[in-house]
Every structure is written in C-alpha cells, then in structure tokens.
Amino acid sequence: MLSGKSILITGAGSGIGATCARVFAANGAKVIVADRDVDSGEGVAAEIRDSGGEARFRHCDVTDEASVAAAVSFATSTYGRLDGAMNNAGIEMRNKPVHELTAQDIEAVLGVDLVGVFYCIKHEFLAMKDAGGGSIVNTASASGVRGQINASDYVAAKHGVVGLTKAAACDGGPLGIRVNAICPGLIMTPMAKDRLMNDPVFSQALEGLRQRHVIGRFGETEEVANAGMFLLSDLASFVTGSPMLVDGGYSV
C-alpha cells in the first residue's frame, strides 16, 4: 500500500509511532524513525532492517524547530524526497483540574502536542511543495473533538491539532499536500499502561472510560497504524482536512 514511499514518523521509538514504523515498512515504505530517545529509536529502525524493511533513525525533539527541520532534511537527503509524514510525538495530560494546572504544565503539553506538530507541518510542507505534494497525518485524539475531566491541557492541545489540520489542509490543497488527523480513543501503549493507568486519579475513572468505548475495549496500536497507512496511501487521494475517529465509539 505504501510501496516506495518515504515516510517520516515522529515519536517512533515506542507506542503508536513504533507500530506505525513497523507496519508502514512491512507495506513497502522507506521509513525515517524520528524520536528524542536515541536508544529506542535506533532499536526500532534496526528491528525493521533485520526484518527486511528499509528504515533509518534520526534524533528529533519536536519542541525544537531546528531539530525538526534537520529531521525533515535528513529524510529528503536519505531517500531523495519526502512523500509522507506521521506527526505522532506527544505526551500525556497532567491529570489535574483546570484551576490546579500551572503555566509550566500548560507550556509542556502544548509545546509537544501542538507546537511540535506545527513545526513538523511547516517543514514537511517546505519539503513536499517543491516535490509535487505529499500526505501528512497528525496524531490528535478523541479528546480533540470532545471534553474530558482533568485534562484541560491535553484537550486544548488536541483540539488545536484538529484545527491546525483543517487549516493546513486548506493551505496544502493547491500544493498537492493532503493533511489529515487521526483521533484515537485510549490505546494500549506503554504510556497508557505504565504511566496513566498507574496514576491514582486516572485509574479511578478507568472502568467508566472502558464502558464509554462502545466496542467494549481499548484500542491497539496496530489499529491506529492501519488508519494512518490508509490516509498516507493513494487510496485516500480525495481525503484531506479530516479528523478520522479511531476510538471504538468513545466520542459517540
């Protein structure tokens, strides 16, 4: 489905991003595994190569515009062009009500989850527009289309990603660049298992959250990767500006 396409994935050292890198490479993509964790990112890239796929690692901190620009430049110099990007790097909410959030809390979450996506889109556009276009997918959240208790920081960031996706799609249309977002429900990533579910505030709401996923379970990283693969592929050639819900019915 992605045969021959060069695709940059941020936050690809673990969780959704790592699964995207494996799935995309297994379906013919040439993958840039971008992450600020060198050991994890190198490990994912090596695993893909050992399985017969094509992947290279690049250190990238999405809160640093120069680091993002360098990662995009590495992708184009390595594979000749940038066909697609999955802007996936993100951090979780602080699990506090809005009146307890500090300026540092807000800046940390918005810095990675929203401003980091902006930096990625900007430099991906610059790489794609002169090459005739491409496809960008931003990882938002079901919290990007609805509210959530104790998550004003995260909800604001993910609503911002959905809005940024729609606006960037308008700018990208004349350039042949499609921009979409995926809005996952709760996905069984290391972040969810190791941090959120061990948080006493979050864990109290866990069963109610499970019940609100009308499918009756939480999601798997492969399910998000498959949606991303579709949006990055030519099968989605008439899809842009869309916040695709991959949330087991949570938002309904």
- Enzyme catalytic residues: 154
Classify residue 198 as exposed, middle or buried by CB count within 10 Å of its CB (0-12, 13-18, 19+).
Answer: exposed
* Percentage of residues in the chain having pLDDT higher than 90: 85
Q: How far apart are CA 165 and CA 155, in angstroms?
A: 15
Classify residue 217 as exposed, middle or buried by CB count within 10 Å of its CB (0-12, 13-18, 19+).
Answer: exposed
- Residue pair 186/219 in contact by the 8 Å Cβ criterion: yes
Residues with Cβ within 8 Å of residue 170, at least 6 apart in sequence:
241
Q: How far apart are CA 99 and CA 101, in angstroms?
A: 6
Model's pTM, two decimal places? Answer: 0.94
| Confidence category of residue 243, pLDDT binned at 50, 70, 90 | very high
| Confidence category of residue 209, pLDDT binned at 50, 70, 90 | confident
| Confidence category of residue 99, pLDDT binned at 50, 70, 90 | very high
Domain extents in the chain: 6-189+220-243
How many Cα atoms within 13 Å fall on the side-chain side of residue 191?
A: 17
Please count the other Cβ atoms lying within 10 Å of the Cβ belonging to residue 131: 16
CA trace torsion 40, 63, 80, 6 (10° rounding): 60
When the pLDDT of each residue in the chain is averaged and rounded to a whole number, the result is: 94
CATH number at 6-189+220-243: 3.40.50.720
| Confidence category of residue 129, pLDDT binned at 50, 70, 90 | very high
| Confidence category of residue 57, pLDDT binned at 50, 70, 90 | very high
